[in-house]
Amino acid sequence: MDEHDRFLPKYYKISREIIAKIQSGELLPGMKVPSENEIINTYNVSNTTARKILNEIENAGWATRIKGKGTFVKTRNVDRSVTRILGFTKNMIEAGYKPSTKLLDASILEEDYTDTINGRNYTLASPIYRIKRLRFADNVPMMLEVRYISLFLCPDINKKDLEKPLYDYYQDLYHHRLTEVNQMISTIIIKDEETDRLFGVDKRIPAFLVSGVTFTGREIILEMERSIYRGDRYSFSVRAT
Amino acid sequence: MDEHDRFLPKYYKISREIIAKIQSGELLPGMKVPSENEIINTYNVSNTTARKILNEIENAGWATRIKGKGTFVKTRNVDRSVTRILGFTKNMIEAGYKPSTKLLDASILEEDYTDTINGRNYTLASPIYRIKRLRFADNVPMMLEVRYISLFLCPDINKKDLEKPLYDYYQDLYHHRLTEVNQMISTIIIKDEETDRLFGVDKRIPAFLVSGVTFTGREIILEMERSIYRGDRYSFSVRAT
């Protein structure tokens, strides 16, 4: 525990402990959060405090109280369909959130970029415009995105407003038809201090690492991506037929 | 560290430390494993020991040495396509592994089973045959699978050999046409002691939690699933168009 924690009210500290269990996946969506009585016994608190703890968890959006049944861990907030080419902005609007973006870094690379995706090597030729952005839903940081964009296929994209959806630029400004996106979804434990700081989490949480390559026309690489999606806020939805 | 660790040879202990970094995602596929010189300096060992450590990591299948370039973390061993209805057995054979299965538990449930998948509730009506299986690739445990099968649609499936692919029974024995599989992929940190023991890992590793529902005909639920895939051995491949 952090040395500053002793200044926090008890109900708040305990609610954070329980939320950390949801974030790490120890308590899964649909599972019951400890009841008022269990909290009283486990943490040795009054029933007023136990109620405050449950309210805090519910108000922070992690659980739902069902009358006469208990408090249950909510489903992950955002589902992302993996089989549609869908940018973050549109995904969030469809899910009912207000998306926003913070540009963290932008630079021009004079070297090619290579990544292995689903066992195959893909190389994007230089010059490359590399941008790093933090993406928010209702002001909660959701995803740390790094994208590598062909400056040959998208000249002067480095002079555009990078808080707008890139897919719109590709299609409307540069008239590239996106033909295919290949992505590889891996899972990691967020350890990197910078990432922790950006996401504002103070516990180890699992995350999705998404590496992708976007093609225009016949197998021409337009951009590549390597992004980290918070595992406590995201799940991927799949429909196979 | 475990109290028994002092009996292990130094090179072995250090190689396990580095493998643990690959398993947790601190070292990602394509990244460089510490070089011979870095190992000598970091762990204060001889160059013979450093070479033994790198050999051990490579032989355990976690990295590949590229002459004159260094040792690199290998891509996750198995890609699983998320957009095809594909059982574990066929997936492993396609990936070049020998699949095997160990039945851990089987029981008949007299209550309905409900799960929330991609924000929607699905209920499979009782009676249900619930099986828990550990699935292996080349004798390495890869996935812990729990499936809930309709005994109404698959009568007497509890009397069949459950080391065979269930999809074959559904189609060949019961003549159900599988029309759709909806799955939700979440990510968790494996904490459960039983799961740790089954997978034979002694560090916290990330994992995929896959909840799914399989339909036959028009929206008739044939089975539901809730499985844990090792995140250090699996990645999911996606192709969006």
Q: What is the pLDDT of residues A65-114, one digit of tens each?
A: 877 788 888 765 566 766 666 778 888 887 778 888 999 999 999 999 99
pLDDT of B29 above 80: no
* A10-30: pLDDT as tens digits: 898 899 889 888 877 788 777
Q: CB distance A24–B84 less than 8 Å?
A: no
Interchain proximity A24–B240, CB inside 8 Å:
no
* B114/B228 same-domain check: yes
Task: Enter the tokens of residue B170.
Answer: 């559904």
Q: Are residues A97 and A67 located together in one domain of the fold?
A: no
CA distances from A205 to A27, A186, B40, B185 (A): 13, 14, 32, 16
The domain of B136 spans 78-237
- What is the ipTM metric for this complex? 0.71
Residues A104 and A10 in one domain: no
pTM, rounded to two decimals: 0.74
pLDDT band at A218 (very low <50, low <70, confident <90, very high): confident
Q: Do B186 and A115 make contact, defined as CB atoms within 8 angstroms?
A: no
**Residue among B150, B212, B146 nearest B176 (CA):** B150
Torsion angle, alpha carbons of B216, B219, B223, B224, to 10 = 140
The contacts found for A168-172 with CB under 8 angstroms, 24 or more apart, are A170/A216, A170/A222, A170/A223
Tokens 């929330």 belong to residue: B116
Q: Do A115 and A94 share a domain, yes or no?
A: yes
Give me the number of domains chain A comprises. Answer: 2
Asked whether residue B100 falls in the same domain as residue B205, the answer is: yes
Q: Quote the tokens at residue A190.
A: 């967020």
> Average pLDDT of A179-186?
88
The whole-angstrom distance between A77's CA and the closest CA on chain B is: 9
Residues A125 and A210 reside in one and the same domain: yes
Q: Which two tokens stand for residue A52?
A: 């405050």
Chain A residues with CB inside 8 Å of B204's CB?
Answer: 189, 204
Contacting residues of A for B25, CB less than 8 Å apart: 186-189, 191, 209
- Smallest Cα distance from A167 to chain B, Å: 14
Pairing of strands A234-240, A78-81: parallel
Same domain, B87 and B66: no
pLDDT at B1 over 60: no
Nearest CB to A187; choose among B115, B208, B238: B208
Tokens of A201: 């989490």
d(CA B8, CA A221): 48
pLDDT of residue A1: 43
Widest CA span in chain B: 66
